[in-house]
Structure 1
Amino acid sequence: MRYVHCQWAAVVEAGVAVAVAAPVVFGVRGLPQVEGAAVAVLLALAGSSAFFGLVAVSTRLTWLGGEKRDFESALTLSNPEAILPTRRESLRRSFDGSFVVIVAVPSLLFGLFWDPWAIGLAVIFVPERIVKGVYLFFWERRHGVLLWRGKVEEQPLGKEQSLYSSPRGATAD
């Protein structure tokens, strides 16, 4: 699957988790009062998430979660036409329902038993993934390639790795 599609899908997944948790929490607990402290905490978490997303994709330091080394050491796909999924298939593979559950359940529990504003915890993934997606989009354009993540048996190493292909070699759907 394409790296960019994976990032955008995570944004949608977090939105789905909030869409599932919010009606339940607000139905049981009622609509929360708008409090400056709760909004400030959520904004601080969102800003931190965006900052750490930027650090993760723009540094080579693995102890900071640096993914840039993965992009730069990506291997070229030996036969892109035979391996690459269509754009729709890549987007479909990128969506992971288990991530929705992993994000929705804690948001739901914290929202019900702690504070209704806690459903906003699901959104802390969104700024990080948006920053990564935008960075990767421009990285691909700057380098003239499409970045993929996956396991291809025909490739060297035969394990989960970063791969790239020419944008012209990818099938458009």
Structure 2
Amino acid sequence: MTRYVHHQLMGAAMAVCACVISAPVVFGVRGIPAVDDDALWLVPLGVFGSIVFFGILGATRLKVVGEVRLFEAAVPLEDPGMIRPVDRSFRHNLVSTSFLCSLLLPALVMGLALSPWLALVHLPLALDWLIRAGIAARWEKRHGVLLWRGYVPDRPWELSYSSSEAAVQR
């Protein structure tokens, strides 16, 4: 069982690590391409702007894009003994080698085969995961609970919550 906020932060850390590893390799092999057209910078700015816009929409209760509805649908955690200490679960599980490899391999292949700029393809994912972590942390603070993933092993995407005091005491 992991905290939802920590899960999102771990994903963002892995996406940034994949970019930090793949970018020097790809740019070292293929070189940094020259950008002749200034309008080309509008594409990444548009992508990041739309991620921020949809992230702000995620902080609402809108039916399709609202993250808050998922948090409010979380079930209470019945056995507080299942909770690991909060700091331990984040510190020791920050790097997942299998997830890092699953992000790194496509970035390297696309960067080497298509365009060197595709080595940075996971930066928008990192921004999205950071925004989701911020939304969840804000919701947790307002409601005085902690959101958890993996309470039901068959359905790890479902969320549960526990009081923040139960995790602090352990």
TM-score (norm 2): 0.83
Check the 8 A contact 2:13/2:94 in 1, yes or no.
Answer: no
Question: Where does residue 150 of structure 2 map in the other structure?
Answer: 150
CA contact (8 A) 1:15 1:123 kept: yes
The aligned counterpart of 2:84 is 85
1:20 corresponds in structure 2 to 21
Provide the C-alpha distance between the structure 2 equivalents of 1:25 and 1:42, rounded to a whole number of angstroms. 19
Say whether residues 1:3 and 2:4 are aligned partners. yes
Deviations 1:120-144 (A, max 9, x none): 2111102211111111111101011
Provide, for residues 36-94 of structure 1, a one-character-per-residue CA deviation record: whole Å limited to 9, x for no partner.
34432222222222333333453352xx35432221021211121x1001224422446
Residue of structure 2 in register with 1:164 after alignment: 161
On the 8 A contact 2:146/2:164 being kept in 1, the answer is yes
User: How far 1:24 moved relative to its partner?
Assistant: 1.3
Q: In 1, Cα distance between the equivalents of 2:169 and 2:12? A: 23
Q: Show structure 1 runs of 5+ residues with no match.
A: none
Distance (Å, rounded) in 2 between the aligned partners of 1:48 and 1:109:
26
Secondary structure of 2:167 counterpart: coil
Could you say what secondary structure the match of 2:20 adopts?
helix
Task: Choose the corresponding residue for 2:61, options 59, 62, 66.
Answer: 59
Q: Is the 8 A contact 2:8 2:129 kept in 1?
A: yes
How many aligned residue pairs are there? 166
Alignment of 1:47-126 (within 5 A): 47-61=49-63, 64-80=64-80, 82-91=81-90, 92-93=92-93, 95-126=95-126
Mapped contact 1:11–1:129 kept (Cα < 8 A): yes
Measure, in 2, the Cα distance between the counterparts of 1:27 and 1:172.
49
Assess if the C-alpha contact under 8 Å between 1:22 and 1:119 holds in 2. yes
| 1:29 matched residue in structure 2 | 30
> Structure 1 residue 118: deviation in Å?
1.5
1:13 and 1:124 map into 2 onto residues whose CA distance is 12
Q: Is 88-97 or 40-49 further displaced after alignment?
A: 88-97
